[in-house]
Amino acid sequence: MFIMNTTKNIFISHHHKDDKSVSDFTNLLAGKNYNIRNSSIRVNEKNKERLEKEQVPRKTLERLLNIKMRWAGTVVVLIGSQTYSREWVNWEIEKAAQLGKRILGVFMHGGKDANIPENLEKYGDGLVGWNSEKIIAGLEGEDVGWCASSGESRPPVTNVKRVVCQ
């Protein structure tokens, strides 16, 4: 079940080589009248060289990511062929857990079980395929369970229970 014309603030954690998939993801949900505002960082051509040459201080990136993630209600992790090996994706997942954010993994087309980031297994709230109904249910806070890349259900590695104190 989804709520029409809902807007959600999310942070999309992804490998920057998968930037196009971020647009594909937002378009998938927009096609279901479900709007998302993504606060994650996407690399433009001006900054790409600076990042690749590590000319941006780590503390600067951490501060920026922290600000952008605090704004979001949910962190979505797009899982592609190299996601598991990305230090920043694992950092973002751990930061999201520290902030008490809901963390939802989504297999991109071609994503495999071996591509799941270690910290998603530790801190994630669910893992689904490229399925708009399941993704929307996860963004709405429903328990969507854990799926293997084959689409079959699997148990989570850890059961994470989040409590937000106010």
For 126-157, the DSSP string reads: EEE-S-HHHHHHHHTT----BB-TTS-B---S
CA separation for the pair 16, 159 (Å, rounded): 29
pLDDT greater than 50 at residue 122: yes
Nearest to 56 by CA among 65, 47, 66: 47
Mean pLDDT across the stretch 46-65?
74
Mean pLDDT across the stretch 36-44?
73
Instruction: Phi first, then psi: give them for residue 76, nearest 5 degrees.
Output: -105, 130
Mean pLDDT across the stretch 100-115?
93
pLDDT greater than 90 at residue 33: no
In this predicted structure, which of 74-78, 93-97, 118-122, 151-155 has the lowest mean pLDDT? 151-155
pTM for this structure?
0.85
CA separation for the pair 52, 119 (Å, rounded): 23
pLDDT greater than 50 at residue 26: yes
User: Which pLDDT score is estimated for 3?
Assistant: 46
Could you say which architecture CATH assigns to the domain 6-139? 3-Layer(aba) Sandwich (3.40)
Checking DSSP bridges between strand 6-13 and strand 102-107, what pairing results, if any? Answer: unpaired
**Any alpha helices (H) in the chain, and if so which ranges?**
19-30, 45-52, 58-71, 87-98, 118-123, 132-139
